[in-house]
């Protein structure tokens, strides 16, 4: 996996309709980022795919930034049965300048009575990341394509 949270499976066949993948074992499973459907980990599955739309998968509890129309949404995939954490930063794809800039945001998910909460901590310069400064804890809204945090 490119990270502990996401799996992108390239499609190399022009007329492909599905892609056979072995999903890593993970409590809570793995969720299809395109369709929103859950899959148990530790088994092979056939997932819808085409040349322009490869399978995008996220482990349950993953915090994934999604840029839609210039706004960044933080999505938490699947049921949040235990705590998870992640680091968000802008990367120029060439250097590690983000390390010195201090423009990072840490996110942590935790289960609660309503399902899950997304907490930010140790954050600074969120505006430079394209995220509005927010309260320390945000509500998490479930959807078919992950869970979006309220701002």
**Residue 11 confidence (pLDDT) above 60:** yes
User: When comparing pLDDT for 101 and 10, which is higher?
Assistant: 10
| pLDDT tens digits for range 56-90 | 888 887 777 777 776 666 777 766 666 666 667 76
Taking the C-alpha atoms of residue 111 and residue 34, their distance in angstroms, rounded to an integer, is 24
User: What is the percent of the chain where pLDDT is above 70?
Assistant: 52
Q: CATH 2.60.40.1180 in the chain, residues?
A: 6-59
pLDDT value, residue 81: 63
How confident is the model over 4-14, as a mean pLDDT?
82
**Residue 30 confidence (pLDDT) above 80:** yes
pLDDT value, residue 146: 43
Q: In sequence order, what are the beta bridge partners of 137?
A: 119
CA 93 to each of CA 10, 97, 130: distance values in angstroms, whole numbers, following the listed order: 20, 10, 17
- The answer to whether 127 and 116 have CB atoms below 8 angstroms apart is no
Taking the C-alpha atoms of residue 151 and residue 149, their distance in angstroms, rounded to an integer, is 6
User: When comparing pLDDT for 114 and 98, which is higher?
Assistant: 98
Domain 6-59 - what CATH class? mainly beta
């Amino acid at each position: 996996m490119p990270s502990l949270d996401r799996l992108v499976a390239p499609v190399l066949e022009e007329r492909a309709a599905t892609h056979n993948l072995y999903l890593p074992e993970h409590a809570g499973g793995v969720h299809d980022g395109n369709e929103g459907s859950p899959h148990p980990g530790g088994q092979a599955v056939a997932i819808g795919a085409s040349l322009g739309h490869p399978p995008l998968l996220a482990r349950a509890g993953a915090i994934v930034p999604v840029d839609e129309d210039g706004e960044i949404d933080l999505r938490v995939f699947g049921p949040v049965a235990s705590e998870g954490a992640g680091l968000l930063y802008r990367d120029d794809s060439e250097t590690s300048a983000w390390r010195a800039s201090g423009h990072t945001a840490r996110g942590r998910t935790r289960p609660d009575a309503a399902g899950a909460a997304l907490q930010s901590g140790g954050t600074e310069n969120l505006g430079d990341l394209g995220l509005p400064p927010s309260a320390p804890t945000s509500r998490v809204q479930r959807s078919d394509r992950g869970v979006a945090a309220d701002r």
